[in-house]
Structures are given as C-alpha cells and as structure tokens.
Structure 1
Amino acid sequence: MTTIGINTLVYMSALKEGTAQSALLPTIAKLGITLAEVRREFISDDAEYDAIAQSAKDNGLDLFYSVPESITIDGDVNPGFVGFLDEAQRMSVKNVKFNQGDIKDVDAAVIARIDKEADAHGVTLSIENDQTPENGTLACTTASLKHIKEVGGNIGYTFDLGNWFWRGEDADAAFEQLKNEITVFHLKNVNGAAERDQLSTTMLQDGVINWKAMLPQLSADIPVFLEFPIEEQDVAGQVAAVREVVED
C-alpha cells in the first residue's frame, strides 16, 4: 500500500510564526500519517535536531529530510554533504533529498563517493526537479538521472509534480517520461496561470493537473508526500483525497 507522507511545508503558516518542526510532528501523526519530511531551512538551532528525532520516535514517525543544497558543485561533492548526512543520521532519517547541482556532468568516482557516504550514514538519497533553470528543467533532470544510471549510482529521484509549471514544462509529459525513475513523489496542484509570477499552488481538487491519473501508475513502495501550504483545518481533507486514490 502506498505510504502517504507530509512535508512540513504543509504547515507554512505555523513555520512562519516560529513553530518548531519538532512541535508539528505530533499534529502530523494525529492524522494517521507515519511518514514526515522535515526541511533543513526551518531548523533554527542545534538542539532542534535532537528534538525532531525524539518527537518522531515518540509519535511513531519515519523521517525524510529536505536539504535545499546542490548535491554536487563544480564537478565535486558539495563541501557540506557529509555534514548534512550527519544531521540526517542524528535524526534517524531514512532519505535525504538534494537539488541536482551539476551531477549530470561529474565523474563516476564522485557519484561512487556519494553512494559510499550514504551507505555509511544509513540513508538513501534523492535529487529533485526544483523551480530553477539549473535544477528544474526536464532536459537537465533527464540528463542527471541518465548519468547516474550509466555509472551505476544509487541516487533516487523525487518527482515534484507542481514545479514543472514554474519552468514552463508539461507536467504530464514529464511524468510519462520519468515515471519509471521516481522513488519519491511530491504532490501539489497549481492554478495553471500563463505568467510565472501568477502561478500558485491550490488545493488538490482545484488545480489543473490530473494527479489522480498519475498516482495509480506508481508502485506501492513509492511514498507520496503532500508538499504545499495548507490551512491546518484543511489538511485532513487533503490527506483523505489522496487516500481515496491510492487506497481505492
């Protein structure tokens, strides 16, 4: 059965008010969710890493970790990479997500070092298509995943459904081309505005993407995360909408 997860971005209003992610995890667990993704940019002090770990343990949650950094820079491993994995290990995280960086161009030995560090830290890794020209186009994403596969790398792929619109790409075409590479799915819907600065996420039932046709095509071992700001009173309804599709 597909695991539904919640990225803490869902609670953006609380995060902006200074609520710690460790304090949000019990709220997530009360929805019957067992998987949460915490975001590095909202960890404000060192003690929060241990607080997140304890809160996840207390609430029966597995954790993923979103790191808004490139996995490789200038042809080599990001200088902060091992430190990011140390943070993940400290929180007992399962998967760490990075931006693609220039991984499509790095030597096989660089990817081998990345895989070795991930193994040593007991985590899996994924790269994402984000909203930037460098890391968000279908061309660069396809090239990154192709290169990783060609050199025998183990880095997975987080498919962010809504981000394609910020790059002027066709989300349906991207899904068809990349669906066999996906290891994590970030679910959001968008209003489909023609101008980039008019684009915004919507409630799942209100956007232009036919996400209900995509989820059944994913294997049951691919977690599906809600990853867009939602008013707290509406989160349960959005989770229910996803459950209706993946548990049908």
Structure 2
Amino acid sequence: MTKRTLADTHDRPAQLIATSAYGHAAVAAHGQEGILPWLAAAGATGVEIRRELLPAGFDAFAALGEACARQRLSVVYSAADELWQDDAPAATLGQRLAEAAALDARAIKFSLGNYRRGPAQAWTALRETLAAAPVALTMVENDQTPQGGTLEPLAICLHDAEQADCPLYMTFDIGNWAWTGGDAVNAAHRLGRYVRYVHCKGVVWRDGKPHAAVPSAEELHDWHALFAAFPPCVPRAIEFPLQGEDLVAVSRDELARLARL
C-alpha cells in the first residue's frame, strides 16, 4: 500500500485552506463541497475538510473526496476528536480513520486530548492501527485547551510516540498558543522536529481575549523564526478569516503572502 503525503506532488510547500476560514455562514450556505472551486481558482493545492462543519449524520465521505479530487485538491481531514482519553486512544479512532480513507485524505489530525502517559500496550495498539491505515499521516494539534494546547503534554506525547516507534506527528497551530498562554517560538524549538503541517493564523486581542485574524506584516515577519524550526517545505494552511466581496481574489492574495515564508 502506497501512502501519498501532502508534499509528494509539489516542488514547493503545499498550501491549503481550511474550509472554516470562510466562516460558518458560507459553509452553511454552500456546503464544504461548494467551497472547493474557490480554493482551486485561488491556487490552493489542498483543502482541510472540517468534520465539525459537516451536517449531522453525514456519511457521503467518498463523494466529498471525489469532489476534492475533481478540483485537484489534496485533503487533510480535521477529525475534531481528542486522540487520547487518559491512557488509551479514543474509541472513535477507527471510525475517523475510515472516514479519512473514504475522503482519500493524505493526513488526519486530532486534538491531543487528556494524555496520561499511555502504557506500552496502548502505544503498540496505536502503532499497529496507524501503520495499517491507508492515511499517510496522523497528527495531533495544539488546540485552545490546557490539556491539549500547552507545551508539556504535547512534548511528552510526541516523545513517547517516538520511543514507541509510532508514526504520530504534529500540526503546529501558530495562533493557538495565544489561547493557552504559550510562547510559539519556544514551542517551535521544542516541537519543531515533529511538525508536519502548520496552521497559520494571526491573533488580535479584543476585550482581553484573543481572536483569529488575518496575519499582520509584523506577524508574517516573525513567523520566519518559527518556520526555521520546522522541516523544510512543511505544508501550511490558512486558518484565519477570509472575507471580502471576491473571495477567490482574497484567497489568492493570502496564499501569495504565505508563499513568501
């Protein structure tokens, strides 16, 4: 079984757009399938399909994957589940991997969950499950929670995965560190070697709370230090709001800004 990675068809970093970037109203009006032509026209090489934005009871994963393929978009599947429940992988893991396979996704990502140093047999089971799955890449993402979005639990889990020879890697969300009080540069230096996919979003503060935003020129400049800690040509995705009258043009412009990283 040959597993295709996000980067194996491009000589430059793959650039994706998460469908959530267009907002809940656009997704509700068009569906995630209806948004795909916008990405293709803007020059994206892939799409991040968000499970939490699928209709209740959705099961047409193969048809959605075929729609992505028609637009020549590789797929990352955001499962929206926590991978770990204390010392065992989540019971939904197999179902989510099957959904990713139906999408012909090249990668799937989870939140870390509540990781408590899984025993050897849990890591063995996870290693065997991921090795047998048709999805090339399984990742945990730093989310906006204390248990799944702070440095130490992620570092421990990824170190344990490495020790167990388990193919588990990381989605590094640049903006989410603001929600958990972490330092993105420090996290990049600690976790950079595990990173296989980057969520790009700027942050603005309103009423003492962080909000996702189009990255400023200063933020983009600062991100060079982050990307220097990641593997070369790591794929990256827009996960900040894309708004305007011409969403294709807006998307194209923001992809061009990321391409300079």
Does 1:80 find its partner at 2:92? yes
| Contact preservation (8 Å) 1:204, 1:238 | no
Q: CA deviation at 1:46?
A: 2.8
1:46 to 54, 58, 61: 58
Please give the alpha-carbon distance, in whole angstroms, between the structure 2 residues aligned to 1:25 and 1:187: 19
Gaps of at least 5 residues in structure 2 are 1-11
Which amino acid is 1:131 matched to?
Q
| Contact preservation (8 Å) 2:45, 2:73 | yes
Q: Percent identity?
A: 25
- Classify the secondary structure of the residue corresponding to 2:67: helix
Report the more deviating stretch, 33-42 or 104-113: 104-113
Return closer, same or farther for 1:141/1:192 CA change in 2, 3 Å cut-off: farther
Q: What is the TM-score of this pair, normalised by structure 1?
A: 0.89
1:89 to 81, 101, 110: 101
Deviation digits for residues 177-235 of structure 1, max 9, x if unmatched? 2212211111111125693xx21122122565711333355333421111122113522
Please give the alpha-carbon distance, in whole angstroms, between the structure 1 residues aligned to 2:99 and 2:75: 12
What residue is the counterpart of 1:61 in the other structure?
73
Q: CA deviation at 1:116?
A: 2.1
Which amino acid is 1:21 matched to?
Q
Does 1:236 find its partner at 2:252? yes
| Contact preservation (8 Å) 2:77, 2:100 | yes
Q: CA deviation at 1:3?
A: 1.2
| Contact preservation (8 Å) 1:190, 1:207 | no
Does 1:133 find its partner at 2:146? yes
Describe how 1:82-231 pairs up with structure 2 within 5 A: 82-123=94-135, 124-191=137-204, 195=208, 198-205=209-216, 208=219, 210-231=222-243
Please give the alpha-carbon distance, in whole angstroms, between the structure 1 residues aligned to 2:205 and 2:195: 23
Please give the alpha-carbon distance, in whole angstroms, between the structure 1 residues aligned to 2:168 and 2:42: 30
Q: What is the TM-score of this pair, normalised by structure 2?
A: 0.85
- Classify the secondary structure of the residue corresponding to 1:102: strand
Deviation digits for residues 53-98 of structure 1, max 9, x if unmatched? 1211111111110011111213222111111111111111111101
| Contact preservation (8 Å) 1:191, 1:206 | no
Which amino acid is 1:39 matched to?
R
| Contact preservation (8 Å) 1:34, 1:62 | yes
- Classify the secondary structure of the residue corresponding to 2:78: strand
| Contact preservation (8 Å) 2:188, 2:229 | no
| Contact preservation (8 Å) 1:104, 1:143 | no
Please give the alpha-carbon distance, in whole angstroms, between the structure 2 residues aligned to 1:47 and 1:19: 17
Gaps of at least 5 residues in structure 1 are none
